[in-house]
A = this chain, B = another copy of it.
């Protein structure tokens, strides 16, 4: 058996994860650190989190045995275009004791690779934001949405949270009795389900509760929509259906109608057992009946697999992928 190892990193906005594997697919180390997205946190901080996660993953490993590494992160293109950011990552890599080169990929490609070994396909990610990408030869080829909360992220957690608040405000404007979802949103935002004698005061309190915080935090209301929809609440169910339609429309921008390649679903809203995941699976199957549907798995492991498949001794990358992600159908 080869003594060669590979490492992979998945750098996200809220956490950084590292994995070290041998070429038989055994996981020999794992590490975790804080959010390190260089777009939001700066390359220096991202590199510091990278180093923390790497050191933890390599704690019981001789780092000179590592022959290849891959880093997946949002805004990869921007990091690569920035010499200072690239230098910070180079230093962290070296400080972890690694002597091999590394490759940087977009987080969407790593999510895709965590769901399938197929060279061509589509990945759809919905968490706080939403983005979809077409993959060709295991490279990101074309992208749709991912435009951020102000202009896009249609069907994302942000989108669901904002839509729920809008429904609450519309009900308050019209003097309608609140339903289960809008009541839950009001309670979450104002700490109470009471409506003021002058309902406009409750409207103002709701708007202020939202605008006091960064807009993107509207995504924290998305679980209220999921919970209500799971209980069959009609307003929440309609919002989930609308979100699923938005996400599917984004996919249709870049995926031909007759495509039969896999579709990988990633992000917190699509990998769990949520109403949105169910609705999106149904929509995707309706639009692309022959597409195999896959669920994204461990991104750090997928990044390590992307590194391994470049090594000459890895002759069957698909078999290694199957060992790493055994639950993937």
Contact = CB atoms under 8 A, between A and B. Distances in A.
A207 B170 contact: no
A148 B206 CA distance: 12
Given A174-B253, A174-B254, A254-B174, A210 B150 contact: yes
A253 B171 CA distance: 8
Contact of A169 (B151, B162, B173): B151
A148 to B, nearest CB: 6
Given A173-B250, A173-B253, A254-B174, A151 B143 contact: no
B253 A148 contact: no
A179 interface: no
B145 A173 contact: yes
A211 interface: yes
A203 B173 contact: no
A152 interface: yes
B169 A147 contact: yes
Nearest to A201: B77
Interface residues of A, number: 27
Given A250-B173, A254-B173, A203 B165 contact: no
A200 interface: yes
A200 B254 contact: no
Interface string A197-231: 00110010001001100010000000000000000
A203 B254 CA distance: 14
Contacts of A253: 170, 173-174
Contacts of A211: 148, 150
A173 B170 CA distance: 32
Contacts of A151: 162, 165-166, 169, 207, 210
Contact of A162 (B145, B150, B174, B215): B150
Interface of A: 142-145, 147-148, 150-152, 162, 165-166, 169-170, 173-175, 199-200, 203, 207, 210-211, 215, 250, 253-254
